Amino acid sequence: MTEKSRPVTEAHFRYVQEHTQPEGPLLRDLRREAAEAGIPTIAIAPEQGSLMQILLRLVGAREVVEVGTLYGLASIWMARGLPQGGRVRTIEIDDAHADFAERWIARSDVADRIEIVRGAGRDILPTLEDDSVDAVFLDADRESYGIYLPECLRIIRPGGLLMVDNAFAGGRVLDAECDHPSGQAMRTFNDMVAREPRLRGVIVPIGDGLWVITVLG
Ligand SMILES: C[S@@+](CC[C@H](N)C(=O)[O-])C[C@H]1O[C@@H](n2cnc3c(N)ncnc32)[C@H](O)[C@@H]1O
């Protein structure tokens, strides 16, 4: 008989959260002030940040690209997993978000490792060189994921890492009747990843579902 994973319940989630190291004062203050400034509260959860940071350390990442900065929370989590000289380039289309993130990143311990690139992921990713990055984190503009995936395959070096948030699209991927664009886009993307022979990935059921994918050599 095949061993099965146990379904993840609210209680499991709470247990995971209780056993994840706290994100610390800077990120806690950043979340609070961003919410007070009216910026949407859609950044990654601390347990996602911890996992992403661990994975970046494990692959020895130095060059990371993020699509969707928001207020810089995930950028700081990831930059803290990089060695001196490492760099997160984070792409943000909204100037108000980029301005806010810039101020907080400047106050952080990893200001020298994060560069905000203003613009759309669709325009910026094609400007990056083949095999030039160790990891990409996709967290914006889900309707474009069908375009982002081949770009990621092109720019991530063999053995590198692709992480993608919201694999569950807030539960919409489970509803076959759902015609919400982001739900449909995520379903299509999830199917593309599962079928792609150059990738090996798993959806880790934390946050709203985090794809952890390695690009095979
Ligand atoms: C979910 S938030 C990113 C959260 C961030 N990764 C974190 O966890 O801290 C999405 C962000 O992507 C930005 N965005 C939306 N469409 C974009 C696009 N086409 N290119 C770049 N950024 C985009 C939004 O303005 C928003 O700030």
Q: Is 121 near ligand 1, meaning CB less than 6 Å away?
A: yes
Is residue 73 in some structural domain?
A: yes
Burial of residue 169 (number of CB atoms within 10 Å: 0-12, 13-18, 19+)? buried
Q: What sign results for the dihedral spanned by CA atoms 150, 206, 209, 97?
A: negative
- Give the per-residue pLDDT at 157: 98
Is the residue at 11 inside a domain?
Answer: no
- Domain assignment present for residue 10? The answer is no
Does any ligand 1 atom lie closer than 6 A to the CB of residue 74? yes
From the CA of 97, give the closest atom in ligand 1: 27
Total domain count, the chain: 1
pLDDT over 60 (residue 3): yes
Atom of ligand 1 nearest to the CA of 120: 20
Angle between helical axes of 46-58 and 10-18 (0-180°, round to 10): 60
Q: What is the pLDDT of residues 159-196, one digit of tens each?
A: 999 999 999 999 999 988 888 998 999 999 999 999 99
CATH of residue 182: 3.40.50.150
pTM of the model: 0.97
Q: Given a cut of 60, is residue 1 above it in pLDDT?
A: no
Residue 1 counted as domain residue: no
pLDDT in tens, 19-72: 999 999 999 999 999 999 999 999 999 999 999 999 999 999 999 999 999 999
Question: What is the domain extent for residue 64?
Answer: 16-215
Does residue 9 form part of some domain? no
